[in-house]
Amino acid sequence: MTSYYPPITYRVPPDEDGWLLKTILQKRMDVSRKLLSRLKMTDLGITLNGERVYISVKVSSGDRVEIRMEEETSEDILPQPIPFEILYEDGHLLVVNKAAGIIVHPTHGHYTETLANGVVHYWAEKGERVRFRPVHRLDQETSGVLVIAKNPYSHQHISEQMIAGTVDKRYAAFVHGVPAVQSGDIDGPIDRDPLEPHRRIVTPDGYPSLTRYEVKEVYPRAASRVELKLESGRTHQIRVHMSSIGCPLIGDGMYRHPLYARGQAAGGLVPPGGGEREAGLVLSGGETQEARLTLPGGETQEARLTLPGGESKEAELSPVEAAQLAEIAELDASIPRQALHAVRLSFRHPVTHADLVFEAPLPPDMAKLQAKLRETAAEE
């Protein structure tokens, strides 16, 4: 016997008397074509006043239209008792505050110990048959608000809001340096680095990507706290964009401050993680490498670095730069991951249409970093 989730109901108002049921489903209940096809294949998928009917029938004022989705489970995800923080849950959504260090969904080489494993276990303990459907993702080392849909209808609706740009996603980050202007847009296409596919770079041939930022606090140790709003959702977008304007995230071992490359070239300080190339630099061949840095407002600056293998001493750090690099490395070592947190997420509920806002305070590691930066500011 087929089991269904509770129905989603729509009452036909007087001004829609005589409409086709198909029109009600598509125009008023916003059922996608894909979901509509699935609903038509189940006995109670679509009913009118409790009876199964063809979607070509006409409705009358006061009629009760209901859709029911079959219950599903994530049979390919192993349930594990992994703790996670719940911010909100109802029959359609689960909103969590994801901890840093946990992967959202099982991937190749990471089939267990993910958020999905924990959520599936949690639902099983409650006796709920629900498939794990994250509406969006957060990097493994990024913490904060994450929404998970509990049925196809909810997933479709929130995904459409994201595509339409009506979902407000805000992030808090601590970065090296201070952006040239207090607030602005970073409009830089992003794509995979052809030499290191696990990394992303700003490149003219990439996918359109837009990040809005505002400086919230400035610290004397050449660091700042920024709030960011995503207008697109590319992999590593914030990390790549902030690095591209010379303000990489504190603690980010993949997209690091450009001084690390020069320090390594000169045989100086190299932090854990290694790596010779920095995101935000578009490198070309030759012993002397050219780098293009895109700054706020679209301005482009050229820089030339001599990398290992050449006899030039151009890469050597001045005493001021060496001191600056030491401070950068000290800050990076003060947090075990990139200092990035999804602090706020707002969208419209897919069924009740209520405006929902969810916030998650800074996690302990970022709060500790903030206290360290403020303490330094107080001393000076």
In this prediction, residue 254 carries a pLDDT of 94
Cβ 286 vs Cβ 220: under 8 Å: no
In this prediction, residue 130 carries a pLDDT of 96
Mean pLDDT, residues 193-220? 94
- pLDDT tops 90 at residue 312: no
| Partners of 187 in beta bridges | 210
Mean pLDDT of the chain: 87
Q: How far apart, in whole angstroms, are the C-alpha atoms of residue 46 and residue 357?
A: 31
- pLDDT tops 60 at residue 277: no
In this prediction, residue 303 carries a pLDDT of 36
278/269: higher pLDDT: 269
- SS3 sequence of the chain: CCCECCCEEEECCHHHCCCEHHHHHHHHCCCCHHHHHHHHCCCCCEEECCEECCCCCECCCCCEEEECCECCCCCCCCCCCCCCEEEEECCCEEEEEECCCCCCCCECCECCCCHHHHHHHHHHHHCCCCCCEECCCCCCCCEEEEEEECCHHHHHHHHHHHHHCCCEEEEEEEEECCCCCCEEEEECCEEECCCCCCCEEECCCCECCEEEEEEEEEECCCEEEEEEEECCCCCCHHHHHHHHCCCCECCCCCCCCHHHHHHHHCCCCCCCCCCCCCCCCCCCCCCEEEEEEECHHHCEEEEEEECCCCCCCCCCCCHHHHHHHHHHHHHHCCCCCCCEEEEEEEEECCCCCCEEEEECCCCHHHHHHHHHHHHHHHHC
262 band by pLDDT with thresholds 50, 70 and 90:
confident
Tell me which long-range contacts 257-261 makes (C-beta under 8 A, separation of at least 24): 257/176, 257/325, 257/328, 258/291, 258/303, 259/317, 259/321, 259/324, 259/325, 259/328, 260/325, 260/328, 260/329, 261/305, 261/307
In this prediction, residue 315 carries a pLDDT of 53
| Partners of 261 in beta bridges | none
Please give the radius of gyration of the chain, using alpha carbons only, rounded to the nearest integer. 25
In this prediction, residue 265 carries a pLDDT of 56
Cβ 173 vs Cβ 340: under 8 Å: yes
Cβ 357 vs Cβ 145: under 8 Å: no
In this prediction, residue 221 carries a pLDDT of 74
Q: How far apart, in whole angstroms, are the C-alpha atoms of residue 242 and residue 186?
A: 8
pTM above 0.85, yes or no: no
| Partners of 227 in beta bridges | 172, 214
- pLDDT tops 80 at residue 272: no
Mention every residue, 6+ apart, whose C-beta is less than 8 A from residue 247: 175, 176, 177, 178, 179, 224, 226
Which residues are tagged catalytic? 139
Mean pLDDT, residues 221-247? 94
In this prediction, residue 51 carries a pLDDT of 96
Share of the chain above pLDDT 90, in %: 76
Name residue, tokens 């009118």: 48
In this prediction, residue 326 carries a pLDDT of 87
The total number of residues shown for the chain amounts to 380
Q: How far apart, in whole angstroms, are the C-alpha atoms of residue 197 and residue 193?
A: 5
In this prediction, residue 250 carries a pLDDT of 97
Share of the chain above pLDDT 70, in %: 85
In this prediction, residue 316 carries a pLDDT of 73
pLDDT in tens, 85-126: 999 999 999 999 999 999 999 988 889 999 999 999 999 999
In this prediction, residue 85 carries a pLDDT of 98
pLDDT in tens, 327-357: 899 999 999 999 999 999 999 999 999 999 9
φ/ψ of residue 72, rounded to 5: -135, 160
